[in-house]
Structure formats: C-alpha cells, structure tokens
Structure 1
C-alpha cells in the first residue's frame, strides 16, 4: 500500500480527489494507493513540501535555490 497525504485546503480538497480519480481512471481500486487530506500541522513532512512549493512558485532566486532538490514537476491542473 502507498500512502499519499495532501495538505488540506478544505475548499480545494474535492478538486484534489477529482484529479486523483481522473489520473488513476478505472484502475484506482487496484493501485493500493491510500490518500487523505490532513491539516499541515498534523504531518511534519507536509512542511517540507510547502517550503519547496513556495520556493518554486516564488520564482527568481528562490527557484534557483530549490531547483536542485526538485526532480520532476507534474502539472495536475485539469484542462
């Protein structure tokens, strides 16, 4: 089983779930993926993701600094 934790943004949680279901398609049940939303203060590993995402989004020197630590960027926005 694989666990994926999202930082809960309450109004965006439904969008996250729709994105996951769309990406996994009909095979969602067979993936072994367990996902949930938690407030960021409940999972310290979310702090790291928040820092990396903030730096990436800020651009400029912050993006230059964080870029070596980021492997791939996947755009999950629905068309």
Structure 2
C-alpha cells in the first residue's frame, strides 16, 4: 500500500493521507498528469483558480470511484505547538500503515520538516514494530504526481464549505488526534 501525505496549517493543523493499492496507481498518476497545464510542473491547489480547483477535486473523486483511492484526515486541531500536532498526526499515520504487510509513505517535501520528520518516523516505526515494513521518503510534488491528491484534500478540507463537500466522497474518515 502507498500512502501520500500533505498537511494544511490553515484553521488548525491537519494531515491528509491518500492511499491506494500499488498495482492500481499508474492510471491515477497518468490522469493527474494530464491535468498539468503547460508551464506547470505539478498541481497545487493554492496556485490554482477556482475553476481549476473544481476540476482537480472532481478528478480526485473520480479516481476514488474508479481506482480505490481514498483518504484519511488526521486532525490535530490547535492544541500544542505545530511540531506536537504533526507528531500526533504522524503517530496515527504510522499506526495505520503498520496494519499492512508492507507500506510506503511519501511526504510532500517541505524542507523545513525533512530533518524533523526522519527521527520521528524511525522512532514511530520502531515503536509500531514495523521498521522493516514501512519505508518513507520526502519527494517534491513534481516528482510524484499522486501528491496532488492529499494536497487537494487538505486544502479543500481546511477551506470548508463547498470545497469540503467536493472531496468528501473520497474521505473515509476524519480522526481527531
């Protein structure tokens, strides 16, 4: 199983994690790549206009229906520091990933978090007894098109209203952590 991870810091702190089975990820990757406009390297909701945001959200929901991609949102709210909130989200993510025989966690690369995440992931995967079964990496969004999915879900969920409703069909669970 592959897990694609991005966060939103607007109105609290939440981490959106999109996942899907490995054998079925080529088509979603291609479909999202087809949405990238000339002169764009990747899709990123904060850089798009509303009509493009609607198009991207619609495509993600469609991918969920066809290809079994779904998302879980870990909502850490506003309690504690940003790092404490992230730590709670990562702990819940690792617990979920550890339920699979093998898991790959791909984070949207944020240079300010890479060196902080690495020791946390080592500690969390060891504590879950899954150090050898869970791999993880931080990739720039242009290197992994499927990172557009948690980006769009996190952005939409944090915005609320119509945007949240647009992505709700692929969100299996919202978990307070």
Determine if the TM-score, normalized by the shorter chain, exceeds 0.5.
Answer: yes
1:74/1:6 Cα in 2 relative to 1: closer, same or farther (>3 Å)?
Answer: farther
- For structure 1, the 5+ residue unaligned runs are none
Match of 2:80 in 1: none
- Equivalent residue of 1:11, what SS? helix
- Runs of 4+ in structure 1 off by over 3 angstroms are 14-17, 20-24
Task: Tell me how many residue pairs correspond in the alignment.
Answer: 74
Work out which structure has the larger RCO, using CA pairs closer than 8 Å and 6 or more positions apart in sequence.
Answer: 2
| Structure 2 segments unaligned to the other structure (5+ residues) | 1-101
The structural deviation recorded for 1:70 is 0.4
Distance of 1:75 and 1:21 partners within structure 2: 23
CA contact 2:104–2:136 (8 Å) conserved in 1: yes
The structure with more strand, counted as a fraction of residues: 2
Q: Is the 1:21–1:28 Cα contact (8 Å) retained in structure 2?
A: no
SS of match in other structure, 1:34:
strand
Q: Counterpart of 2:69?
A: none
CA RMSD of the aligned region, Å? 2.1
Distance 1:13 1:53 in 2: 19
- For 1:73 and 1:41, the matched residues in 2 are separated by 27
* More helix by percentage: 1
1:34-77 deviations in Å (ceiling 9; x for gaps)? 1000001100000111111110111121112211210123456x
TM-score of the superposed pair, with normalisation by structure 1? 0.74
2:149 alignment partner in structure 1: 48
